[in-house]
Amino acid sequence: MLIRKPDDISSSEITPERVYINRRDFIGKSAGIALGGATGGALIGGAVGAALVGRPGRATAQASPGGQRDWSSVRSEMGEELTPYEDVTSYNNFYEFGTQKEDPVRNAHTLQPRPWTIEVGGMCANPGVYGLEDFIQPGTMEDRVYRMRCVEAWSMVIPWYGFALKDVIDRAEPLGSAGFIEFKTLYDPAQMPGQRGRVLDWPYVEGLRLDEAQHPLTILATGVYGRDLPNQNGAPIRLVVPWKYGFKGIKSIVSMTFTEEMPWNSWNRQASNEYGFYANVNPEVNHPRWSQARERRLGEFRRRETLLFNGYLDQVAGLYAGLDLRVNY
C-alpha cells in the first residue's frame, strides 16, 4: 500500500486517532471490494488537515476505483458524515444551466465534457494548450473529503476525486511577476443554455492569489464519490477551495491564466458590495443581506455554527496574516 507523505507534514498535523481508527475500519471494508489497480483503501488524514481517502495514483481522467467502494463509513477529518451522492449531484448552483438549484441536473446533459481542452497561459515560462488527459498528467489523484460552504448559508460534505492545483502550476513555471491565476468556464450557449440570458456576465471568471492556488488544500477535481464529475457538478474539471465560499469553485474550466493583476471574478462584478475576491468563509463577516454566522448542513434540521475558514483555520490562516478580513471579504 502506498501512503503518500508530503514533505510539508508537520508533526502537529498527524492523523487524529478518530480518523485513524476510522481508517482501519475503512480498509477492512474496502479491501474485499477493491478492483482493478487498486491496492485497497487508505485514509491519509491530516496530511493537509483534510481527510484524504483512498489510494493516490497515476493521473488519469478515469474515475477512481472508489466508484465501487462502500462510502458509508467514510467521514471528514472532523467526523462528519458525507452528504449523499444524490444530493451532491441534484442541488447545484451552476447558472450556465439555470438559476434554480434543480436546473443543472435537468439541463446539463447538453454539455459535452469530452473531448476537452484547457489553455494555460499568461505570465508563465511554459504555456500550452492541453487535452484533458495531458493537462492533469502531473497530478497525483486522490479522494479528498471536504466541507463545501455555499455563500447562501447551506453546506455539504463531499468526497472529491482530484489533485493539488500546485501540480499543474509547477509544470507551467509561473514567472516572478505572476501574483494571481484567473480561471474561465467554457463559453458556449449551445452547450450551456443559461448563457443565452444575461444573468451573469459570461463566461464565468474566478481567480486565486498564487499562494492560495499553491496551497495543498486547493485541488482540481475530476470526480466525486470516486466517479467522474457529473455535468451539473462542473465536468470535466473544476476548482475546489474548501476554505472559501462555493462560488470560488469554478466549474468546467477551459483556461488558466497567470496574471499580475487581481482577476475580476464574476460575482464580484455582479455585486461588489456582496461578493468579494477572497470570499473566505467567515462567520463574523455577514453578507449584506443575510447572516453568515450559521449554516444549514443539508440533511440536518437545526442550523450549525459556521467555522472560520470553514474549519481549515489551522491550515490557511497563515495566508492572511495582516489582511483585514472585513475589508477583504
Among residues 58, 109, 294, 304, the one that binds another protein under rule CB under 8 A = 294
Put residue 98 in one of left, alpha, beta given phi > 0 → left and psi -120 to 50 → alpha: left
Among residues 101, 171, 209, 227, the one that binds another protein under rule CB under 8 A = 101
Does 5 interact with another protein (rule: CB under 8 A)? Answer: no
Does 291 interact with another protein (rule: CB under 8 A)? Answer: yes
Does 272 interact with another protein (rule: CB under 8 A)? Answer: no
Does 245 interact with another protein (rule: CB under 8 A)? Answer: no
Which of these ranges, 46-54, 134-142, 232-240, 295-303, lies near another protein under the rule CB under 8 A? Answer: 295-303
Does 308 interact with another protein (rule: CB under 8 A)? Answer: no
Does 298 interact with another protein (rule: CB under 8 A)? Answer: yes
Neighbours of 291 (CB within 10 A): 12
Where b means 16+ CB within 10 Å and e means fewer, 109-146 reads eebebeebebbbebbbeeeeebebeebbbbbebbbbbb
- Contacts of residue 39, Cβ cutoff 8 Å, sequence gap at least 6: 1, 2, 55
CA distance 308 to 208: 19
CA distance 107 to 94: 10
Residue 174 CA neighbour count, 13 Å, CB half: 22
Among residues 60, 152, 210, 320, the one that binds another protein under rule CB under 8 A = 152
Nearest approach in angstroms of CB 296 to another protein is 7
Nearest approach in angstroms of CB 91 to another protein is 4
Q: Sign (positive/negative) of CA torsion 297, 303, 305, 309?
A: positive
Does 91 interact with another protein (rule: CB under 8 A)? Answer: yes
The contact set with another protein (CB under 8 A) reads: 87, 90-91, 95, 99, 101-102, 152, 154, 199-200, 270-271, 286, 289-291, 293-294, 296, 298, 301-303
